[in-house]
A and B are shown apart, each in its own frame.
Chain A
Amino acid sequence: SQKIEQNSEALNIQEGKTATLTCNYTNYSPAYLQWYRQDPGRGPVFLLLIRENEKEKRKERLKVTFDTTLKQSLFHITASQPADSATYLCALDSRQAGTALIFGKGTTLSVSS
């Protein structure tokens, strides 16, 4: 069955450093992969989408890579700030029109000043 793993349940870094979060998947070949941010008690907020034919995507301080050979995506936050502290979710599509996303458990990032 399809499986998504976000390797670290929690990641603690200092302000100004680059945070790198990992998402691995098995038994699956997604057409695209998305990253979301979720704050406690709130719904997920879309950050970035990367397609299977794209290697890298950037948006301001965020960068996502997608390696379909390794079946892995890396999510980077550069020059991290305490406001970046949240849970970050990796999500894959189901390749079928109209179907939902499959989510990983998330990595909770804490950025200390």
Chain B
Amino acid sequence: GAVVSQHPSRVICKSGTSVKIECRSLDFQATTMFWYRQFPKQSLMLMATSNEGSKATYEQGVEKDKFLINHASLTLSTLTVTSAHPEDSSFYICSARPGLAGGPRETQYFGPGTRLLVL
């Protein structure tokens, strides 16, 4: 099946620093990518939807100036957590939806996740 990678898989940073997480679709072109956040024993919560070449759409309550999303190409989206604080510590997961040639429209492929710990 289709593969989505995330890098890094785990990151520890100091409070106030910025962290960039990459999400790549390895064998298909993703017209849409999604970013989720998951706290322990909680469900995945959608943060934002990004379409290649356009601005991301953020969910209510998600600060777009704090969580910067760039979908620069059909295979890469990045999430930058700016001025990270301990409460931003979480598991960040991306998913990618293939374009018309990549399978059913409903299909989403998830990355393995990135564990962020802010000290």
Task: Give the interface of A toward B (CB within 8 A).
Answer: 32, 34, 36, 41-46, 49, 89, 93, 97-106
Contacts and interface: CB of A to CB of B under 8 A. Distances in A.
A98 B43 contact: no
B106 A98 contact: no
21 contacts: A32-B106, A41-B113, A41-B115, A42-B112, A43-B6, A43-B113, A44-B44, A46-B109, A49-B104, A49-B106, A49-B107, A89-B44, A97-B105, A98-B31, A98-B49, A98-B51, A98-B97, A101-B34, A101-B46, A103-B44, A106-B43
Interface in B28-68: 31-32, 34, 36, 41-46, 49, 51
B44 to A, nearest CB: 5
Q: Is the interface of B mostly helix, strand, loop or mixed?
A: strand
A101 B96 CA distance: 12
Most buried by A among B1, B31, B43: B43
Nearest to A51: B106
